[in-house]
């Protein structure tokens, strides 16, 4: 058998091996991209974005410094939560704060004047707001 015949015979095997190598590399790249996204989410919320959201949507009731003294607070029957009250904030779980923001105050037995933000923020943004309001408590 000459060299040309031997190469021609092995050609289908080489093509299959080449396809398998390409699939392997594509799968590896997809895994790396997925893992990088998971690490970014695990790193925690974006506090800069949360601060922007808080400033835009929450300050009017909760105030710039989180003391519940925003310009609209005087119009409410119940004073908005004071995020600087470390004793009170330590009794509230992140899940409770998340639910209060997402579903409104009444969903956690708090003031029904606290609106639901489920249509205004996605879950990651709400987690960011929870983390951001925790920064007001300076122990």
> Residues 105-132: pLDDT tens digits?
999 999 999 999 999 999 999 999 999 9
Q: Is a pLDDT exceeding 80 seen at residue 10?
A: no
Domain ranges within the chain, ordered by starting residue? 1-43, 47-134
Give the right CATH number for 47-134 from 3.20.20.70, 3.30.1490.20, 3.40.50.300, 1.10.760.10: 1.10.760.10
Tokens 């122990």 appear where?
A: 139
Q: Is a pLDDT exceeding 70 seen at residue 29?
A: yes
> Residues 51-99: pLDDT tens digits?
999 999 999 999 999 999 999 999 999 999 999 999 999 999 999 999 9
Measure the CA–CA gap between 75 and 106, rounded to whole angstroms.
18
Asked if residues 109 and 97 have their Cβ atoms less than 8 Å apart, the reply is no
Residue 138 pLDDT: 85
Measure the CA–CA gap between 137 and 83, rounded to whole angstroms.
6
Averaged pLDDT, 3-30: 65
Q: Is a pLDDT exceeding 70 seen at residue 100?
A: yes
Both tokens of residue 26?
A: 């594509």
């Amino acid at each position: 058998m000459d060299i040309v015949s031997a190469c021609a015979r092995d050609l289908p095997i080489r093509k299959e091996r080449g396809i398998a190598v390409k699939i392997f590399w594509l799968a590896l790249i997809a895994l790396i991209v997925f893992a990088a996204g998971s690490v970014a989410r695990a790193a925690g919320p974006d506090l800069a974005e949360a601060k922007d959201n808080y400033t835009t949507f929450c300050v009017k009731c909760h105030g710039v410094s989180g003391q519940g003294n925003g310009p609209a607070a005087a119009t409410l029957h119940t004073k908005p939560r004071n995020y600087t009250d470390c004793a009170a904030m330590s009794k509230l779980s992140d899940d409770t704060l998340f639910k209060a923001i997402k579903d409104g105050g009444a969903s956690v037995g708090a003031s029904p004047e606290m609106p639901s933000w489920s249509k205004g923020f996605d879950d990651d943004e709400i987690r960011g707001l929870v983390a951001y309001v925790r920064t007001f408590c300076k122990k």
